[in-house]
Structure 1
Amino acid sequence: MRVKNVRGRFLLLDGTEKEGRKIIREAGLGESEIIFPLFPDGTGSGRTVWWANAAFHFNQLVSAVANEDKVFYWGPRRFLRLFLREAAEWDGHQPLFWSHWERVREEGMVKFYGALGACLPGEVPVGVLPTHLGNRFFEESLTRALAEVNCSLVRCGRPWPTPEEELRTPKGAQKITLAMIVKDEEAFLAGCLEQALPFVDDIVLVDTGSQDRTAEVAASYGARLLRHEWNVDFAAARNAYLEEIREGWVLTLDADEYLTPAAGACLRRLAERGEPKVYYLRTYNYHNEFLAHFTDQANIRLFWRAPDARYVGEIHEQLVTSLPRELVGGPYVVHYGYLPGVMGKKQKRSRNLEILRQVTAERESPFDWYNYGLSLLGSGQAAEALEALEHYLKLETPGAVEKRPSAFWHAARAALACGKRELALEYAEKACEAPLPECHFTRGQVLEALGRVEEAIGAYRTAASLPDPPASLYQIFNQTDTSIKLWRARLAAASLLEKGKRYAEAEQEYKQVLEGDFANVFALMGLARVKRLQGKLREALKWARRGVDYLPDALEPHLEYLEVLLAQGELEAAREHVAGTRLAPALEGRLWLRLAGKAAEAGEWTVALEASQKVLENEPDSTAALVLKARALRGLGRLKEAEEALRNVSDLPDVRNERGCIALAQTRLDEAEEIFRTVLAEDPAHAAAATNLAQVLVLRGKVEEALEVLRPFVDGGSLDQNPRSALLAARCLNALGQFEEALALLSFLEPGSLPKSLQSEFYLVKGNSLFGLEDWERAGECYFEGFRMNPEDHELLMRVGLLMIKVERWEDAKNAFTRVLMLDPGNKEAAQFLELAQAAACIAKR
């Protein structure tokens, strides 16, 4: 294999990243991408919910890499070296496909392990493989795609058994039939059947009216397909497969639910016991394609086909049987139906809501009203949800209510969404009688909304530290958010601590999040942020870099990484980082926009201009980018071009404010003042316009009026949002001799959190206040700190010179005024003070 110029993508179904990377590095492919399944107990920094679909990941590799050779692997770690040995022999000229499988006896069970691999020359333009066919048809799909470009495939390894061969292979003494109801499930069905195939002996699907390729996929996996006319009754559809299956064990899944290998082996073991029962397994519902965000509940997965077994209920159907029931801990099923994209496409929520609306109108079933309330809440109808859940609580027996705390926490969330915070707290407190993390997490949310921050932090910490709840709470449909204990509760506590500037405590909470989910991007960004706010920029950069590495296609890690670089003053490094991202153009534009804004704040006008123009390449009508471009041109003294940049831009407040700034730069004070007043008349909260108007008034000697304009923006704790306003207000107070008031105002600002361009000004203004109070020593400390940050600030050097005169350090005064004149040769005031200092120095020598 030609190791140079080769890109690899390896999806490892098990093992650790350290183990996998070591093997891949030994093969000379150390820069390859390694991905693992996104599971609650998963590993690896690169993770995916689409772990079961080899074609999906092959397509991603092909689309990301154009003219380089490509190496692809999907499978367990145990076969990785075997594939890499074959890949090492590849000549790099003809596409190669490799496969291998074994049945291995483990823990008294025979388990199926299979792997796929491919090597593709960079010059072969292979098309997109279909993702609805399943992994057993990967080779066939790749062969067809290559035939379209007149290219053949070299095959090696051990071909997987066909689905028919797999079904005929004995797996134990007990027969298991996979039973499902389906409709338009081509996107998920092959993956579901593929994962279940090694553990079942038969497949029965009830199709309620598919219009896509569901039947084709079912047939390819050897399933028996029953047609069933849909009559808005899920129980009737499930009973149709019970009519077909008269003996043995029934394994139930939805098409968008996949058995994990551990779950499949567990269910086979349970069946081999030969004890007629109903077995529950936990189901983890994916809620995000990139983050470890799950909810979970227990669902019936395996039951003996007893004569009395039947389903009841038009929706959220329940199995009725005299068989004993058992919840099995450990292995789990994963469910894709709650992913936002899937929910939107299938419109499950609106379908379920309509059915439940009809059902609750016809009968008073507590279970139906409970589910109706949840569906309403999920659809954003909080008031109706609260009413439905309260109706459920009236209908349900006290014993059943006690076992369903989820009714209380959902009622609490509905009440909170309606603004009924005290009622929400009542329901949250009732929920907390059960030891579920969700109960205390909901209580924390309500307490946070009530402003009881310390209690909210305590509730979140309790939610994170609870032991696993008793199994009984999962058998009665208490769906709980697994992510709460895994990371969400700690993250919520950390966020409140960070807002309270309790950075050390926030840091500890973020680190505990990473103990549960070490690639959690929110915690990584939180750590980067608190380190940045504490001025520990090297550590901040480390955490932000990890976030970018773990989630390179998401905007948020790049934004925080950019913030750290900008806080370090590394504008060139920030520019290079943005230019090197692989984000979608719209997301990359947001990074350029942020860079433009920060560069403008720092007075780096060339960078600001370039960054704003980058945004405009993809979004030519972006008002924010046009304003920043005009601001950069103004900063560069290209005032005519700045005016031209805003010529055809909508007359929004920010646009008018920038036009006022251009007028101010041209000393057209009347025009500038009129523009700023117009902006404030339309938007009284426009801090930039207020600050600019105050600046005009100061130039006209109207310092008291300027202070009145600024006052709304420096009162009420908004100084962090309006530092320019605060600094100008402090200048005004100094000018009016109100030095103590100026210092009090400045005490609310943290210089380390200010934009770099304002940090030296902060020390200048504070030094002036102390100078006015004749506190020469502290004034000097401020001036010299400002000078350290900006040694070319004329005003700062003048103040240093004046202070040196006050303390009769004539040589230092001479040096300060001399430097002012080097920077600004026409400065008459500096020349006069230099003469004074020189004369005083001569007298002092006598």
Structure 2
Amino acid sequence: MAVKLSFCMIVKNEATNLPRCLNSVRHMADELVVLDTGSSDGTVAIAQSLGATVHHFAWTNDFSEARNESLKYVTGDWVLVLDADEVLTAEIVPVMQLAMQQENCLVINLLRQEIGATQSPYSLVSRLFRHHPAIEFRRPYHAMIDDSVAQLLKQEPHWQIVDLPEVAILHYGYEPGAIASRDKFQQARMTMERFLVKHPGDPYVCSKLGALYVEMGKVDYGIELLERGLAQQRKTPIDAPVLFELHYHLGIAYSRLKDVERAERHYQTATEQPILEALKLGAYNNLGTLRQAQGNFPGAKAAYEAALEADPNLAIAHYNLGMTLKAMGQLEDAIAHYQKALQLNPIYAEALQNLGVVLLKLGRVEESMAAFQRAIVLHEQRNVQEAQRLRSGLRQMGFEI
């Protein structure tokens, strides 16, 4: 029997992104529900022109409250939720439809690709779920259904949660110009801190808020929060994805403090969590970088190879593996990985520059100069000082570019 799928979203001033998002779902969803929270541009008219039913809600600075309001208008058997800067991939539709046919399936977690993010390009999000009265969004900033689902599973244990390993959502929030502003950082911080006052040991909020503080440069306080979240493991088991986040961000924090031993331990523990391998890419890559800086080239090589096993198309991992292989004297292999990085990212100036270095070491001067020339052109567009430094260094060796 066919299931009815409802799509719902909350928006405010998303006239630019909305057409791309709605066009990715409108041919597979049976209804489109859009909750507008106070747009002053053409958002409402665009949503209606693409077949959505638009409802209005006064913004209360609580994402969960708005998302739960949108669920009130849903009539389908299943609910798909996206943000305006996200797109559903066409390839995932038949996989989703098959998964929704499973009788005891309650939630289908979708793999989201973070477009423009180099270190951690994937995340797993609970955005497709059965329209069950007990499922609701909780938490004011990082609104998610996970808490209510966990509670429901205690009462109705027959339900199952499914993870789809294929990329389902493309998220454009990491593109240049779309990165959160300082004001948004402050909004996130204040909202999560209010939540933390009432839930002081919540591992999820400790991971998100701790990571935010580390990113803002308040590393010591970020570590305190991350360690506080991790300490909850002594009282009750922490879900593997949250445990991964705690260890991963502690690895970043201790790296910034130059505490290599602790950083490596946390990155290693993060990679051992039972989650999708694609979600561990940042941890593998950072672990490799840490080991490389310490001269542990075999260990760095193993970490980068693990990253590439999870995602063969991760350009930064190919570049980093090339750097490690160069340091190990495996020059031909290094060239192969630099070239693969450039195939994936043709404007990767650092890969071109180091490709030039290795080709020169092998006596392939003409190829080397061509790589250096392309690197200089790219550096001149983004880093004039590096372009000048590279040109000067080549001149000192007798090469004029």
Classify the TM-score, shorter chain.
0.7 to 0.9
Cα deviations by residue, 1:207-249 (Å, 9 ceiling, x for unpaired) = 2222332222212212222222222221111111121114422
Aligned to 2:307: 464
1:249 corresponds to 2:249: no
Q: 1:539 to 1:587 in 2, by over 3 A?
A: closer
Aligned-partner Cα distance in 2 for 1:486–1:589: 23
Q: Secondary structure at the match of 1:385?
A: helix
Q: Provide the C-alpha distance between the structure 2 equivalents of 1:596 and 1:307, rounded to a whole number of angstroms.
A: 63
2:290 counterpart letter in structure 1:
V
Q: Distance in 1 between matches of 2:261 and 2:282?
A: 19
Report what 1:418 is aligned to.
257
* Cα gap change, 1:594 to 1:313, in 2 (>3 Å): closer
Partner of 1:363: 199
Look up the match of 2:377.
558
Please say if residues 5 and 76 of structure 2, whose CA atoms lie closer than 8 Å, have aligned partners that are also in contact. no
Alpha-carbon contact 1:437-1:464 (below 8 Å) kept:
yes
Q: Map 1:293-332 to 2 at 5 A.
A: 295-319=121-145, 320-321=148-149, 322=152, 323-332=159-168
**Is the partner of 1:263 in helix, strand or coil?**
helix
Distance across 1 between alignment mates of 2:120 and 2:107: 25
3-state SS, counterpart of residue 141 of structure 2: coil
Pick closer, same or farther for the CA change 1:459–1:274 going to 2, 3 Å.
closer
Provide the residue aligned with 1:280 in structure 2: 109
Cα pair distance change 1:447/1:324, threshold 3 Å: same
1:383-421 residue CA offsets vs partner (Å, 9 max, x unmatched): 222121111111245632666223212101101112322
**Matched residue type, 1:489:** A
Cα–Cα, structure 1 residues 518 and 285, in superposed 2: closer, same or farther, change >3 Å? closer
TM score, norm. by length of structure 2? 0.81
Question: In the alignment, which of 175, 192, 214 is matched to residue 377 of structure 1?
Answer: 214
2:244 aligned residue (375, 399, 405): 405
Find the residue that maps to 1:241 and give its secondary structure: helix
Is the Cα contact below 8 Å between 1:360 and 1:368 reproduced in 2?
yes
The one-letter amino acid of 2:381's match is L
Structure 1 pair 589–455 and aligned structure 2 pair: CA distance change class (3 A): closer
1:759-798 deviation line (CA, Å, top 9, x unaligned): xxxxxxxxxxxxxxxxxxxxxxxxxxxxxxxxxxxxxxxx
Deviations 1:138-161 (CA, angstroms, capped at 9, x unpaired) = xxxxxxxxxxxxxxxxxxxxxxxx
Secondary structure, counterpart of 2:238 in structure 1: helix
* 1:493–1:509 contact (8 Å) kept in structure 2: yes
Q: 1:225 to 1:589 in 2, by over 3 A?
A: closer
Label 1:315 to 1:270 Cα distance change in 2 as closer, same or farther (>3 A). same
Bigger relative CO (Cα 8 Å, ≥ 6 apart): 2
SS of the aligned residue for 1:198 comes to coil
| Contact 2:120/2:281 (<8 A) preserved | no
User: What's 1:58 paired with?
Assistant: none
Change (3 A) 1:596 1:176: closer
Q: Answer yes or no: is the 8 Å Cα contact 2:112–2:170 preserved in 1.
A: yes
Partner of 1:614: none
Mapped to 2, the partners of 1:425 and 1:588 lie a distance apart of 32
TM-score, normalised on structure 1? 0.41
Matches within 5 A, 1:557-576: 558-559=377-378
Alpha-carbon displacement from aligned partner over 1:516-554 (angstroms, at most 9, x marks no partner):
x37573544432332134431233356568xx6xxxxxx
Q: Tell me the secondary structure at the aligned position of residue 229 of structure 1.
A: coil
Compared CA separation, residues 267 and 588, structure 1 to 2 (3 A):
closer
Q: Tell me how far apart the structure 1 counterparts of residues 161 and 391 of structure 2 sit (CA, whole Å).
A: 62
Superposed CA deviations along residues 494-522 of structure 1, whole A, max 9, x for unmatched, are 2244467663453244346468x375735
Q: Aligned letter for 2:90?
A: P
RMSD: 3.6
Q: Residue 330 and residue 497 in structure 1: after superposition, are their counterparts in 2 closer, same or farther (change >3 A)?
A: closer
| Corresponding position of 1:755 | 398
Task: Note the 1:229-248 alignment, pairs <5 A.
Answer: 229-248=58-77
Selected match of 2:90 from 258, 261, 269 = 261
Task: Please give the alpha-carbon distance, in whole angstroms, between the structure 2 residues aligned to 1:275 and 1:432.
Answer: 30
1:705-750 alpha-carbon deviations (Å, 9 max, x no partner): xxxxxxxxxxxxxxxxxx7xxxxxxxxxxxxxxxxxxxxxxxxxxx
> In structure 1, what is the equivalent of residue 27 of structure 2?
198
2:289 equivalent in structure 1: 445
Give 3-state SS (helix, strand or coil) of 1:310's partner.
coil
Q: Output the CA distance in 2 between the equivalents of 1:250 and 1:596.
A: 54
Seen in structure 2, the aligned counterparts of structure 1 residues 371 and 756 have a Cα distance that, compared at 3 Å, is closer
Describe the shift of the 1:283–1:429 C-alpha distance in structure 2 as closer, same or farther (beyond 3 A): closer
Aligned length, in residue pairs: 381
Distance (Å, rounded) in 2 between the aligned partners of 1:446 and 1:589: 25
Match of 1:295, as an amino acid? Answer: P
Matched letter for residue 289 of structure 2: Q
Partner of 2:297: 454
Partner of 2:156: none
* Aligned counterpart, 1:492: 320
Name the aligned partner's letter for residue 356 of structure 2.
A
Query: Which amino acid in structure 2 is aligned with residue 388 of structure 1?
Result: L
- Which structure has the larger Rg over C-alpha atoms? 1
Q: Which amino acid aligns with 1:352?
A: A
- Give the CA deviation at 1:597: 6.4
Q: Does 1:334 align with 2:166?
A: no
Cα distance, 1:279 vs structure 2: 1.1
Whether the aligned pair in 1 keeps the contact of 2:213 and 2:221 (CA below 8 Å) is yes
User: What CA distance in whole angstroms lies between the structure 1 residues aligned with 2:54 and 2:76?
Assistant: 18
